[in-house]
Amino acid sequence: MKTPFVSSLALPNFRLFSKTSEKRSLLYMSLELTARCNNDCRHCYINLPAGDRVAESKELSKGRILEIADEAVSLGVLWVFLTGGEPLLREDFADIYVGLKERGVLISVFTNATLVRDAHVRLFQQYPPRDIEVTVYGIRKRTYERVTRTPGSYAAFMEGLDRLTRGGIPVRLKAMALRSNLGELPEIARFCRERTKDFFRFDPLLHLRYDGDKERNREIESERLTPAEIAELDRTDPDRFEALRRFCDRPRIGTAPADRLFRCGVGDGGVDVSYDGLGRLCASLWHPDCLFDLSRGGFAEGWNGVAEKVSGLTSNRREFLEKCQPCSLINLCMWCPANAYLESGELDMPVEYFCRVAHARADLLGYPGE
């Protein structure tokens, strides 16, 4: 069943906060070219099999992608992220990439690098990307393929990464902090920092599945680190520790009413488009009443309509108003309405795991909290 183009947002516990329209701007757009992937990573929140023909049939055509890009550029978009799944699975990837470059935008490509061929390197040399972001799951075959569950993926990753670096393509490396690679994370960090001079990050936040697959969600939860392990990772990485400390000391965002649900500037600055043409105000915001369907209306109309409604949502859920909304540790917490929905099916439900992570970080920083 298709999601309504702009929903009524008739949700229990919610009402719309009446406010005057705000002027919003767009600077970047994330385009999921596919949900299919040639790996089967334990922690992945979106991947479908590379040969999934149903998923492939739902993918936006090259022509539609470029139409959406034209609309987005007219609204101010300067930077486009090409993601997946694995975007290099698209046979028309090069045509999409060149079409976007012809529209004058910066492009970042998120890839696992296993499918990088010499033709991709030549493409990136002729039409330079801003960067190619590659996720490193492990630096040993056993660890890497435990995560990807794909024989031969480690060798393909190393070969693809080598092609990019030998070709002079700007590469940024990142890692997910998982149960399966926890013991190797210090070595992963060294590996990445030796190969990328200005950038390396790791992320311990594992999203649950956007499709709600219960079996896959159990796998994701089994890969999550404990709050104490996350705090220890923060402590042992000097750059991350300092950034966390600075972020903790920032004031709470904005002066919105106490019952306002979204306090993050949702809908302003960026937008995401799924492989099958659903617009989202952020990559994680999958609640059906927070989407707009690009098969049923224009990009600007959908973005502005949903952004106006979602940014004004308020909650009367007692747990949210008494626990999350006033919490002084909000800047240390993984909680947000989008993540809460993936965890609980509700936008305004506290999540105990996120709360425990925030308190572990507060203890690390000597921050009293509430």
Distance CA 154, CA 131 (A): 22
Does an H or E element contain 28, and which?
strand 26-32
Lowest mean pLDDT among 18-22, 36-40, 135-139: 18-22
Is the pLDDT assigned to residue 153 strictly greater than 50? Answer: yes
Share of the chain above pLDDT 70, in %: 91
DSSP state of 322: I
pLDDT at 259: 85
Distance CA 357, CA 225 (A): 10
pLDDT at 5: 34
Cβ atoms of residues 127 and 98 within 8 Å? yes
Lowest mean pLDDT among 6-20, 251-265, 300-314: 6-20
Compare 5 and 289 and report the one with higher pLDDT: 289
Lowest mean pLDDT among 211-220, 224-233, 250-259, 327-336: 250-259
What phi, psi does 127 have (nearest 5°)?
A: -125, 85
Residues 148, 135, 211, 12: what is their CA dihedral angle, to the nearest 10 degrees?
Answer: 140
Q: How many CB atoms lie within 10 A of CB 73?
A: 17
Distance CA 194, CA 185 (A): 14
- β-sheet bridge partners, residue 135: 174
Helix (H) and strand (E) counts in the chain: 14, 13
Is the pLDDT assigned to residue 2 strictly greater than 50? Answer: no
pLDDT at 86: 98
Compare 251 and 333 and report the one with higher pLDDT: 333
Query: What would the pLDDT profile of 187-208 be if each residue is shown by its tens digit?
Result: 999 999 998 877 788 899 999 9
What is the radius of gyration, based on Cα positions, of the chain?
Answer: 21
Mean per-residue pLDDT, 333-338: 91
Mean per-residue pLDDT, 317-332: 88
Mean pLDDT of the chain: 89
Instruction: Note the pTM of the prediction, 2 decimals.
Output: 0.89
Distance CA 64, CA 285 (A): 22
CA angle 99, 102, 267 (to 5 degrees): 80
User: What band does 276 get if pLDDT is binned at 50, 70 and 90?
Assistant: very high
Distance CA 359, CA 228 (A): 9
Is the pLDDT assigned to residue 249 strictly greater than 70? Answer: no
What phi, psi does 350 have (nearest 5°)?
A: -60, 150
Residue 286's Cβ-side half-sphere holds a number of Cα atoms within 13 Å equal to: 18
- β-sheet bridge partners, residue 108: 81, 131
- β-sheet bridge partners, residue 224: none
Is the pLDDT assigned to residue 59 strictly greater than 60? Answer: yes
- β-sheet bridge partners, residue 202: 175
Is the pLDDT assigned to residue 248 strictly greater than 80? Answer: no
Is the pLDDT assigned to residue 87 strictly greater than 90? Answer: yes
The full set of domains in the chain, from first to last, is 24-248 (3.20.20.70)
What phi, psi does 30 have (nearest 5°)?
A: -105, 130
